[in-house]
Amino acid sequence: MTKPLVAILSGAGISTDSGIPDYRGPNGLWRKDPEAEKLVTYEYYMGDPGIRRRSWRMRRDNRALRAEPNAAHRAVAELERSGVPVRVITQNVDGLHQLGGMPARKVLELHGTARQVVCTDCHARGPMEDALARVEAGEDDPRCLECGGILKSATVMFGERLDPVVVGEALAISKACQVFIAVGSSLQVQPAAGLAGVAADHGARLVIVNAEPTPYDDRADEVIREPIGTALPKLLHRLITESGTPG
């Protein structure tokens, strides 16, 4: 019996149990501090040293890099270990799917990763931890050690293009999967949101797990409003049982 390919699109809501606030929810970061959006906007970041210094302070104080995977991340990894083919497409930059046990090659990070830095000139990459250690040591705007260029988080800032290769892979997975689960995503940010529609158009069973209504709820085969930390493990365990794999 061929096991169905399961695509999981994860948004900020999957990581809130790990202590990482979402951006657009009722208590989201952008609602609390609209100015914070400038810190992750490419034009402001590149053009204003003051914005860069504030950004580095924000990264230094950011709990995301100290966060631990929660029950939902672990449940996704458990599904993969059970033998069900799984691909994760994530809007998150926290790396918690990989820390939770998902093989990195099976995780597509649409918006990049906060665990690395990249030079805007020579494109050299390195660990975020190393750059933050330099900030702790007194550098308020650390530069690239290779060429002296401006360093930024290896995340896709507002005003930057998503990696077309990653987007292409996400699209191919969405077309090929038999089950598409959107979890913790408002499904309002394109192109990620549109993947749910692509999957449904190609015959996938669409399941949405999210606290707030989404624009794709009326296309879903199942909408789950329960807390993600309990709802997702329950749903994925059901998939393991349905696929005939011992869980």
| Full set of structural domains in the chain with CATH | 1-20+69-111+162-247 (3.40.50.1220), 25-62+113-155 (3.30.1600.10)
Secondary structure letter of residue 62 according to DSSP: -
* HSE, side-chain direction, 13 A CA sphere, residue 179: 23
Radius of gyration of the chain (CA): 19
C-alpha closest to that of 45 among 58, 33, 60, 32: 58
pLDDT at 32: 59
Q: How far is CA 167 from CA 41, 50, 146, in A?
A: 20, 32, 29
**Residue 33 identity (one-letter amino acid):** D
C-alpha closest to that of 101 among 117, 88, 119, 114: 88
Q: How far is CA 168 from CA 55, 81, 112, 165, 179, in A?
A: 30, 25, 15, 5, 19
Secondary structure letter of residue 27 according to DSSP: T
pLDDT at 61: 83
- In sequence order, what are the beta bridge partners of 88? 8, 107
pTM above 0.95, yes or no: no
> Both tokens of residue 195?
């993947």
Residues serving a catalytic function are 111
pLDDT at 97: 98
pLDDT at 2: 72
Return the sign of the alpha-carbon dihedral for residues 169, 89, 11, 183: positive
pLDDT at 247: 43
C-alpha closest to that of 213 among 202, 225, 203, 205: 225
**H/E run at residue 183:** strand 179-183
Profile the chain (247 residues) by mean pLDDT over runs of 10 residues.
88 92 55 74 96 92 84 98 96 96 97 96 96 96 97 95 96 98 93 95 97 95 96 95 66
